[in-house]
A and B are shown apart, each in its own frame.
Chain A
């Protein structure tokens, strides 16, 4: 029989890391977009 504590422990750990990796990716995407906009606004140097 599957142990509920075991499933919850590994499930939570995977969820936490997936969530954290997702937030980092979001931060990167947002900054890259802003960087592109700033480069466009400043024009070719």
Chain B
């Protein structure tokens, strides 16, 4: 028998991790000296961004496994990752301006880091629309694989652009591999790690829930077909 991590346990662990992450963000991590309290947006902003990036890699992976093996679960996984990735990417685009306004004095600027993130969000929208409007499953999966490839290219660009020495944009330097002025207080690193793990659990839980929806949808479609064929006979 196939053993899986029970859904209720998965949900309980996810909720506990999210609550623990709030403790680390608001009580454990020290207040940043120049930005003050508003800097705490950083933890959810960065983790959401990481999840959106991860989502595109998983969508890309799931799409290609589906095209190669014709495994329906791989396609469900690709779509679920894209849907949940879209939610995380939306959170990046909401939390970013809310952090930017009190710190930079502006909500948004079209710089080399922010623009690819917005483009990534548009790609998620494009992917989800494509999957909704193209009915032929094989064709939809093929087109989705093409869109997810574009997404991966965008993610790689988005990740590296602020690590380039020539970058002079508005976005702060990366905290990992961002050069001399990057880095964090060790307690902030703990909060980053805990938030990342909590978001990863949330991501996996939501993708799993989506996959359950997709499996149910297929069962319903099969039974409908059976009902229609038996009533027609």
Contact = CB atoms under 8 A, between A and B. Distances in A.
B118 interface: no
B220 A31 contact: yes
A6 to B, nearest CB: 5
B87 interface: yes
Interface of A: 2-3, 5-6, 8-10, 12-13, 16-17, 20-21, 24-25, 27-28, 31-32, 34-35, 38-39, 41-42
A24 B91 CA distance: 18
Contact of B87 (A5, A9, A20): A20
**In terms of DSSP, what is the predominant structure of the interface of chain A?**
helix
Nearest to B230: A42
A35 B206 contact: no
A12 B101 contact: no
Given A17-B202, A28-B213, A41 B227 contact: yes
Nearest to B87: A20
A35 B223 contact: yes
B38 A38 contact: no
A12 B90 CA distance: 11
Contacts, number: 76
A5 B209 contact: no
B94 interface: yes
Interface string B198-233: 000010001001101100110110011011001000
B77 to A, nearest CB: 15
Contacts of B84: 20
A20 B89 CA distance: 14
B105 interface: no
B216 A35 contact: yes
Contacts of B224: 38
Given A27-B213, A28-B212, A42-B226, A35 B91 contact: no
B98 A8 contact: yes
Given A9-B44, A13-B48, A16-B87, 13 more contacts: A3-B37, A3-B102, A9-B95, A10-B41, A12-B98, A13-B91, A13-B94, A16-B90, A28-B209, A31-B217, A34-B220, A38-B220, A42-B226
